[in-house]
Amino acid sequence: MSTSPERKSYHVMEPTDRVPVEVAVGVLIERDAQGREGRFLLTSRPEGKVYAGHWEFPGGKLEAGETVEQALRRELIEELGITIGEAHAWQTEVMDYPHARVRLHFCKVYTWEGAFEMREGQHMAWQTLPVDVVPVLPGTIPVLQWLAAERGHPGPTHQAPVSGD
Ligand SMILES: Nc1nc2c([nH]c(=O)n2[C@@H]2O[C@H](COP(=O)(O)OP(=O)(O)OP(=O)(O)O)[C@@H](O)[C@H]2O)c(=O)[nH]1
């Protein structure tokens, strides 16, 4: 019986082969007495993190054993000092960045308790469309487009970054 020579297979990792990191993200939205959605909260990424200064929706990576809602509740206490009520699963998006591949679980949040404290030295801004903060994180753009579709907002959702960003 002949033995076949050992076959080696080589595979170059494409960006899309990277296992995504799961991230819980909160879209905090104010509602009026009729339940109509209004302003939503953006926060800037703190110094020292990738994409520092870019505007995003607050949140962060799931820790082992956590659900999206648990991670979101923990992250928003850690980052903003607020305790959220129910998190409503809304949209999921996979983004490939040079530094990581992430699966973003966006949840709408309408209720929270506590005073906002920027515990990581970030900034916060309540926004409507088009948002006036610059620059926005690439992963924020689809979210603005979903909000625009829901709200029937025509035209741009954000400003192009100032050159040099
Ligand atoms: N928080 C948040 N992260 C986002 C959004 N969109 C988006 O692409 N991301 C990406 O998702 C990842 C979240 O990581 P993070 O650095 O905020 O999470 P973390 O607080 O757990 O980070 P740490 O590792 O520094 O503790 C980053 O790669 C970030 O670029 C968004 O709207 N909010």
Cis omega before residue 130 (within 30°)? yes
ipTM over 0.95: no
Measured from the CA of 78, which atom of ligand 1 is nearest? 20
Is residue 140 in contact with ligand 1, taking CB distance under 6 Å? yes
Whether residue 53 has pLDDT greater than 90: yes
Give the pLDDT score at 50: 92
For the purposes of burial, counting CB atoms within 10 Å of the CB of 72, is it exposed (0-12), middle (13-18) or buried (19 or more)?
buried
pTM of the entire predicted model: 0.88
All structural domains of the chain, each given as residue ranges with its CATH number in brackets, are: 19-148 (3.90.79.10)
**For range 30-52, the mean pLDDT:** 96
41, 43, 61: residue to mutate for ligand 1 pocket, most atoms within 8 A of CB = 61
Whether residue 68 has pLDDT greater than 70: yes
